[in-house]
Amino acid sequence: MKSYFFIIPSGNPTTTYANKLFAKALQDLGYDVETVLDLSQKFSILKNPNCDAIFFQKTIQCPAHTKKYIEHLKGKVKLIHIDNDFQDMHKTDKLETLKITDLIIVCTSQHKRALKEYTNVPIETVSNIVDFENYNYVSITQKSNNPLIISWQQACADAYTQDLLMIAKPLCEIHERYNTELHLYGWYMGKNHPDLRHEIRKVMPFAKFIEYQPLTKYLTDIVPKLSQSDIFIMPYIKHKGRWGKSGFGLKRIMLLGLPIVASNTEHHRTLIKNGENGFLATTNDQWYSNLESLVNSKELRENFAIKSRKLIQTNYNPEIIIKQFINAVNKHISLFTKP
């Protein structure tokens, strides 16, 4: 049976990369899968489909992924949306598309529960595939940063200033006491997005801003730098727009073996056992004490690093995740029979 993966034309979003990894893994198993990025080619396929199913990366981010252009295929071709963002839920195009598709795949259980309020379409939760070869582990014992480096990243950092500002107080206190550096990755520097670095500079003037890089350069230039960090932070505000977040990002950081302090969210709790392979924090006091514990103990940093990486290698390796993906689809659509 033949399937297409309709990918958003821009190759930069991490979800584009994640969907390509799904398609590649299926191809490696012998399934007839083809990725399509070109918009005109997508419309040509939608007009005369020669396939059994189409997987769509997100919805309104590409017109060829929306109800207006795919509804006529209902009952003829299986329509499957891989949607990692619980955002734009007020937009009619997105809601109508999610109501007529045949299956929705998301990354977190919280996102799945929330979507059920908007559609009766079956929803399955599957982790993204993590690209092991591009996230090499650097042992804590190999690092000699003085002062220590605390890092944070987002694919579009300017959109997450409130998340970072939420823990400004403990970050400032840690810096004042231990002279730690703060490296913030993913800023557009005023290109194509409003430049919001000034909001961070007001309260954390010591922060270092690293410019956003397209995915290829991110993997070759940014990841090696990020891997040299001593501690990684992942704060998220309490907002439904964050419910689908970090399904991919947290696993990549854990694969790098960076000791993590993260917001105590439902999804983070599925990966981080507080005090065993990382820290979870809610209050400013918790953020400070957790960061201080890591700053003061190289042994603790190494322990967290080893356990985090082992968890991803054991429970979230590509072979396991692609099996989960196939089972999730086949539960509703008999698509992936043995090649």
Q: Which of 3-7, 102-106, 114-118, 284-288 has the lowest mean pLDDT?
A: 114-118
- Give the pLDDT band (50/70/90) at residue 17: confident
Determine the 3-state secondary structure of 270 from DSSP: helix
Instruction: Give yes or no: residues 56 and 150 share one domain.
Output: no
Same domain? For 276 and 139 the reply is yes
Same domain, 200 and 272: yes
Cβ–Cβ under 8 Å, residues 218 and 225? no
Residue 213 in any domain: the answer is: yes
272 contacts 279 by C-beta, under 8 angstroms: yes
Q: What are 213-245's pLDDT values in tens digits?
A: 988 899 999 999 999 999 999 999 987 777 666
Residue 208: domain span: 132-315
Q: Same structural domain for residues 97 and 197?
A: no
pLDDT of amino acid 11 = 55
Neighbour order of strands in the sheet with 123-125: 32-36, 2-6, 53-57, 78-82, 103-106, 123-125
Give the residue-averaged pLDDT of 244-257: 83
Domain-located, residue 339: no
**208-211 β-sheet, strand order:** 208-211, 181-187, 149-153, 231-234, 260-263, 279-281
Query: For the chain, how many structural domains are there in total?
Result: 2
Tell whether 19 is covered by a domain: yes
Cβ contacts of 297 within 8 Å, gap of 6 or more: none
Instruction: Give the three-state DSSP class for 261.
Output: strand
**Do residue 309 and residue 189 come from a single domain?**
yes
Q: How confident is the model at residue 89 (pLDDT cuts 50, 70, 90)?
A: confident
Whether 157 and 187 have beta carbons less than 8 Å apart is answered as: yes
Same-domain pairing of 112 and 219: no
Angle between helices 14-28 and 318-330 (to 10 degrees): 80
pLDDT of residue 246: 60
Is 226 within the bounds of a domain?
yes
Look at residue 110 in the predicted model and tell me its pLDDT. 87
pLDDT-derived band at 79 (thresholds 50, 70, 90) equals very high
pLDDT, tens digit (0-9, with 9 covering 90-100), for 107-118 = 888 889 989 999
State yes or no: pLDDT of 151 exceeds 60: yes
Is residue 158 domain-shared with residue 190, that is, in the same domain? yes
Whichever domain contains 304, its CATH number is 3.40.50.2000
* 236 and 259 share one domain: yes
Structure tokens that stand for 334 in this block: 């008999």
Would you say residue 335 lies in a domain? Answer: no
Query: Looking at the structure, do residues 95 and 152 belong to the same domain, yes or no?
Result: no
User: Domain for residue 293, yes or no?
Assistant: yes
Q: Which residue has the tokens 């042992």?
A: 139
Residues 6+ apart with CB under 8 A from 315: none
Same domain for 326 and 293, yes or no, is no
pLDDT for the residue numbered 247 = 65
Under a CB-based contact definition with an 8 Å cutoff, are residues 93 and 68 in contact? yes
Helices (H), 101-218: 109-115, 161-165, 168-178, 197-203, 215-217
What contacts 222, CB < 8 A, 6 or more positions away?
153, 185, 210, 213
**Is the confidence at residue 90, as pLDDT, over 70?**
yes
**116 & 11 share domain:** yes
| pLDDT at 10 > cutoff 90 | no
Q: Does residue 216 share a domain with residue 198?
A: yes
91 in any annotated domain: yes
Q: What is the pTM of this model?
A: 0.92
Residue 256 lies in a domain: yes
Question: What's the pLDDT tens digit per position in 124-134?
Answer: 999 988 889 99
